[in-house]
Amino acid sequence: MRIDNQAWLNRVNPELIRFMDLLSDQIERMPLQTIETKTGDVTLKLTETNGTTFFLQSQYDPDREAGIFVDGLTPPEGEFHVLFYGLGMGYHVEAFMERFPEATVSLYEPLPAVFYHYSKNRPFSKLNKKQVKHIFVELSLDIGNQSLDVLARSTAKPLWTVVHPAYRRHFEGKVNLFFERFKEILERQKFNVIADYKFQKLWTLNSILNFPYTMSTPNIMEVKRHFENKPVLVVSAGPSLKDDIESIRKIKQEKSAYILAVGSANKALLSHEIMPDAVCTYDPSMLNQKVFTDIVERNLDTIPMIFGTSVGNDTILKYTGPMLHMFTSQDHVSDYYLGDAKKCYPVFDDAPSIAVVTLEMLAHLGASPVILAGQNLAVRDDEFYSKGIQFEHRGNGLMDDERNRLVEVLSVDGKFIPTLPEFNTMRLQMEQTIEKYQLQVINTTKQGAHINGTSYVPIEQLFEDKLIPGTVVENWYKVESYGYPVDYVLQNGKRLEDSLEKQQFVLDDLLSIFQRLENAIQNGTRGGIPLLIEKMDKALDKLLKNEFHVHFCEPMVKLATKFIKSRKLDMQATNDMIERAKLVLDTYGRYVYEVHLITNEFRWVLPKVHEKIQEYTNRMQNVSR
């Protein structure tokens, strides 16, 4: 690699320098050859396995060829971020940057050998550093997927993908696979962005309001001995559940497997008078409580609930039965309060479905085999839910807009079956979890989507060798001794309240600075703006280091933080002080306003939470006397 290219690449992706060096001997032996063109430039000649050769760029005038290619592109309207798939020797990227100097770009090279020759023979300095956000090289399929994941998470603007024409001609299979993978990742990312938008505040607010219940209930891992190497039936609310009801009833009567109801499945089971051994829940929304209305209204107080610590607080407040908790990845509250005491327990990743979270939980509990029922992840007979499940906002049938979004996937019986994109995302996540933990999973769902890593066996056949009567332990959820260090928790709570008050002072300073910036804009007085921005930077630095802000505010303002990052280059590039002040106010003003609202809310929430923890402490002390 050229020395100047190493210096340039060190800013964007320094790891590539090391990888290219490691691969250099291997690449030099590959059938690629750099050729000088008629215009004195460099192009790359490749030899295919059948002996035919082709050039990635024109062997006559690659600059002119690149210009013609860029002229033929039709960029989308408004702001966009460009992903170039296939760099070749970089001519078309250079031409594009020259034509669109305001556009930001990411570069993806699927052939490491091509990138090696590019970095060895042509200067990266012809690429505008300010425009390049990422450079990715597909050193392996996993690294390629990780790169696409980074791109999907870090790009706020709409994405426009431009494929090098030679790659489309000669590597069609590779290009198609890339787009299939990227589509899956974008679907997942779309779910994550929607989840962030809907839940970013709820996750933290629920976690703090739930924390007294986290303190006063056993962690699910305290009952691991009851689940280890035992069969567990995970019952979901898919339309196929009705087919298996009588088999599930037999399992319950014989106590041959633990029955965990996820999502709305408890409603279907209860409509047939089958009591699950537990219900599992993690959804942070207020609507989540409606999933358990049948249990609450019937005052059933013997069905344990295993709740994720960031679940909707109303779900916990209204539940009538015993409870156990599991730590979820969106709960940053318990990290702060419990410190090292939390490290003894696993943290379960947020996922698009409670069934996926439950699978991960069962992996940590050592359950085997895990048996899926009603896990359609697809549409059957135009049904969304199983019979026996009804909500105010929807019935169990498909809605019109859902019918318009149906796609086909492979079913358990080798045919194709319609599904929704959100179900498909859940399936892919479930497959990743099964592979990660090497779980033994049996899928009994008739006419459901095929799930990689599972074996399809009709539930009736499991009674022969997988289900043994008397497996379930009575009152398995009762734990005599459990708990977290209360004194340590209360000490952290006091420190947090102090930090909250300090944050309020910093916010007052920032609001004062913003008012003075607003006055400067209105009066057109440019001279004082740099000093005000400098003061704002110092106050922001204090805010970002504040203990309450780090542990509680930051997780609640993810999208506002992303917005700031997307505007930073614009602010730095603006020389006119009035325009810069406007950008600063618009960008940081939103952020500080959100933080201000959160701070005010927590000023009344925290004392109430700490009071409940103290009440729990007093109860425990009275019991021990």
Question: CA-based angle 567:125:42, to the nearest 5?
Answer: 135
3-state secondary structure of 583: helix
Spatial distance between the Cα atoms of 298 and 455, rounded to a whole number of angstroms: 37
Residues 147 and 266 in one domain: no
Spatial distance between the Cα atoms of 528 and 308, rounded to a whole number of angstroms: 51
pTM above 0.75, yes or no: no
* Token pair of 412 as six digits: 């358990």
134 within 8 A of 12, measured Cβ to Cβ = yes
Q: Are strands 407-410 and 416-419 parallel, antiparallel or unpaired?
A: antiparallel
Nearest to 450 by CA among 465, 434, 467, 466: 434
Per-residue pLDDT tens digits for 246-272: 999 999 999 999 999 998 899 999 999
Spatial distance between the Cα atoms of 387 and 373, rounded to a whole number of angstroms: 14
Per the domain annotation, does 139 fall within a domain? Answer: yes
303 within 8 A of 280, measured Cβ to Cβ = no
C-beta atoms surrounding 447 within 10 Å: 18
Please state the domain count of the chain. 3
445 within 8 A of 240, measured Cβ to Cβ = yes
Residues 343 and 251 in one domain: yes
What pLDDT, on the 0 to 100 scale, is given for residue 153? 64
Per the domain annotation, does 357 fall within a domain? Answer: yes
Per the domain annotation, does 471 fall within a domain? Answer: no
Residues 459 and 515 in one domain: no
400 within 8 A of 472, measured Cβ to Cβ = no
Residues 457 and 491 in one domain: no
Residue 222 DSSP symbol: G
Per the domain annotation, does 438 fall within a domain? Answer: yes
Residues 243 and 126 in one domain: no
Residues 434 and 554 in one domain: no
- The CATH number that applies at residue 375 is 3.90.1480
Per the domain annotation, does 184 fall within a domain? Answer: no
End-to-end CA distance of the chain: 74
Residues 283 and 414 in one domain: yes
* Token pair of 136 as six digits: 């990715």
What pLDDT, on the 0 to 100 scale, is given for residue 390? 55
Per the domain annotation, does 178 fall within a domain? Answer: no
Spatial CB neighbours of 504, under 8 Å, sequence gap ≥ 6: 599, 603
Q: What residue type is assigned to position 255 of the chain?
A: K
Length of the chain: 625
What pLDDT, on the 0 to 100 scale, is given for residue 393? 46
* Token pair of 320 as six digits: 């009538």
Residues 43 and 163 in one domain: yes
Residues 234 and 335 in one domain: yes
Q: Backbone phi, then psi, for 374, in 5-degree steps? A: 70, 20
248 within 8 A of 235, measured Cβ to Cβ = yes
124 within 8 A of 8, measured Cβ to Cβ = yes
259: β partners: 233
Residues 148 and 260 in one domain: no
Nearest to 334 by CA among 477, 485, 222: 485
What pLDDT, on the 0 to 100 scale, is given for residue 197? 41
536 is in which domain, residue-wise? Answer: 486-624
H or E element in which residue 42 lies: strand 42-47
Residues 458 and 491 in one domain: no
Per the domain annotation, does 189 fall within a domain? Answer: no
Last residue of a domain, one of 155, 170, 185: 170
Per the domain annotation, does 25 fall within a domain? Answer: yes
Per-residue pLDDT tens digits for 89-118: 889 999 999 988 888 888 998 888 888 888
Residues 416 and 554 in one domain: no
Residues of the chain with pLDDT under 50: 191-198, 391-394, 625
